[in-house]
Amino acid sequence: MRVPRLLKPATSFPVRRWALRLLSVWLLAGLMVISVGARAADVQPLEIVTRSGVHVFSVEMARTDEERATGLMYRKELQEGRGMLFDFTPEQQVSMWMKNTYIPLDMIFIRSDGRILRIAENTEPLSEKIISSGGLARAVLEVAGGTARKYGIAPGDRVAHPLFGAR
């Protein structure tokens, strides 16, 4: 009696190729989650009203201890019109630094009424020097270094965002 040789199904090669493609997609998605993991998930619009007009930004929200601790660390760039808003509710004395932050930033310290308290311009990348709010602040907005000067943003200007109530 002759034992028939088992043949591989004709679809085995395409199925294997499909499985490899699916595995590649899963790996790529996982890498994207890891690389984006340091970013705050919630992006919202924010407006700053200055003498020169209203300037609109898209800001990532840093609300949790982990998001606030990581901030914009390890980023190699920050696009114009983008930033991160750190929620320090309740209003308090706030201290920041630039450890592991590769790009210069403007740190805009904001009171609970939405008024800008202080601006630390073009902070030094990778510095562990403490940058203080200089008073009670509800939030800190970090934007690319030079943004405040470019748009004429100054202490006393108003920030419009739901964090500061309806405006």
Specify the CATH number for the domain of residue 104: 2.60.120.1140
Reading across the β-sheet that carries 116-120, which strands appear in turn? 116-120, 105-110, 131-144, 82-96, 53-62, 43-50, 158-160
Tens digit of each residue's pLDDT, the chain (167 residues): 555 554 444 544 444 443 334 334 333 333 333 334 445 568 999 999 999 999 999 999 999 999 999 999 999 999 999 999 999 999 999 999 999 999 999 999 999 999 999 999 999 999 999 999 999 999 999 999 999 999 999 999 999 999 998 54
Q: Are residues 122 and 52 in the same domain?
A: yes
Q: Are residues 13 and 54 in the same domain?
A: no
Q: Are residues 31 and 93 in the same domain?
A: no
Is 57 part of any domain?
yes
pLDDT at 165: 86
Q: Are residues 21 and 77 in the same domain?
A: no
CA distance 1 to 4: 9
Is 50 part of any domain?
yes
pLDDT at 93: 98
Q: Are residues 53 and 20 in the same domain?
A: no
Q: Are residues 17 and 98 in the same domain?
A: no
Strand partners, 98: none
Q: Are residues 99 and 34 in the same domain?
A: no
Structural domains of the chain, count: 2
Q: Are residues 94 and 13 in the same domain?
A: no
Is 93 part of any domain?
yes
pLDDT at 128: 97
pLDDT at 166: 59
Distance of CA 37 to CAs 31, 41, 84, 146, 150, Å? 9, 8, 15, 27, 31
Is 4 part of any domain?
no
Is 133 part of any domain?
yes
128: Cβ contacts below 8 Å, ≥ 6 apart: 97, 98, 99
Q: Are residues 16 and 45 in the same domain?
A: no
Domain that holds residue 16: 9-38
pLDDT at 84: 98
Tell me the two tokens of residue 127.
């510095």
Q: Are residues 54 and 77 in the same domain?
A: yes
pLDDT at 24: 40
Q: Are residues 119 and 65 in the same domain?
A: yes
Q: Are residues 20 and 57 in the same domain?
A: no
Could you tell me if 135 and 26 are in contact, meaning their C-beta atoms sit under 8 angstroms apart?
no
Is 101 part of any domain?
yes
Is 53 part of any domain?
yes
Could you tell me if 141 and 59 are in contact, meaning their C-beta atoms sit under 8 angstroms apart?
yes
CA distance 1 to 17: 36
| Closest listed residue to residue 87, CA positions, set 110, 65, 62 | 62
Could you tell me if 96 and 107 are in contact, meaning their C-beta atoms sit under 8 angstroms apart?
yes
